[in-house]
Amino acid sequence: MKENSAQGLAGITVGETAICTVGKEAKGLTYRGYSIEDLANHSTFEEVAYLLIYGLLPKQKELDNFKKKIQFFQNLPTPICQILEQLPKSTHPMDVLRTACSALGCLEPETIQYHETSIVERLFSFCISALLYWYHFHNSGRKIKVNNEESTIAGHFLYLLYGKQAETWQQRALDVSLILYAEHEFNASTFAARVAISTETDFYSAIIAAIATLKGHLHGGANEAAMKLIASFENEKTVEKNIHNLLVQKTLIMGFGHRVYKDVDPRSVIIKSWAEQLTNNKSKKEKFLIAKRIEEVVWNEKRLFPNLDFYSALVYHFLEIPMGFFTPLFVISRLSGWTAHIIEQRANNRLIRPNADYIGPELRPYVALKERI
């Protein structure tokens, strides 16, 4: 590699954005200039989504209209239901979302009138409705009614999952996690969306590129892997030896470290406190203690801190959300950030086409087929 290049584009600035700061000295993590701590403590996900997409925190009337539009779009077209019924039960939920979004793009294509902001309002509820319709159809044989009176994203998801209105504390725990996942600068899936939209493709195609990228275990899939790790321990006493063995074997411990943050992921601090708040029985307390012990051991041995995925997995588990839905929830949240970046890229677009350092063989003469030894 040449001195001015970096594997995985680490440390390379590839553009400008007014949407988010990540680990920028004293600024920490901010959305449109607001600290993640203030947003998580005082806002709802719908306020944060509006902020990311439109650039300003909404006034009450603006927020009410935004929520009404999202609630209005809970329905599923009949062809989508038919597609979801045909997908195998074994399909990964991320593939369900990718397929459903692609089909919706055919049924309701982007137009001048039906542009990115109205499409994302559609997708917030649509993704939840599609995912839970598929889930219940293949697990209980029921064709659930996806329209309900829930006016929030978290409320809509939990209502369809539980079959009844969730408790306020359950909705708020999920709501905070959605705020924390909403945006994170030029991460892999966001960059994929910007690369796609820079070619002047349509909005759906850029979102699908982002979903496909987020599916990877080194990005969105890390929260599933983190929960599998936590669940693999019977109690906190077994953690140190087994984690040590994994590290000796150079096994990647998912949910730890970050490309940009050096000392702490500020989102992890917030979601960890929610995980602790949700420990309302012996089994949950034990899992939380296991997670804390994993955090301690990984820090002591590798100086790696937990990122958002680690304790988010625990929060989702405590909310009785199936593990396969962890990354789809990431999608539903990050739709807001992806949309903001798509709009920003379109506003001052130039095709994203980086260079590469060639490390292959030098120029050589062509050898005819019959002369090759």
Active site residues: 219, 258, 309
- End-to-end Cα separation, the chain, in angstroms: 33
Residues 103, 127 contacting (CB under 8 angstroms): no
Quick one: angle between helices 326-347 and 203-214, nearest 10?
Answer: 140
Q: Where are the beta strands (DSSP E) in the chain?
A: 20-21, 30-31, 34-35
Residues 17, 344 contacting (CB under 8 angstroms): yes
Amino acid at 235: N
Of 151, 281, 195, 288, the C-alpha closest to 233 is 288
Of 315, 313, 195, 196, the C-alpha closest to 253 is 313
B/e letters for 180-214, b = 16+ CB within 10 Å, e = fewer, are bbbbbbbbbbbbbbbbbbbeeebbbbbbbbbbebb
Tokens of 323: 């593990």
**Helix boundaries (H) for 73-167:** 78-86, 93-107, 116-140, 153-162
Of 290, 297, 296, the C-alpha closest to 318 is 290
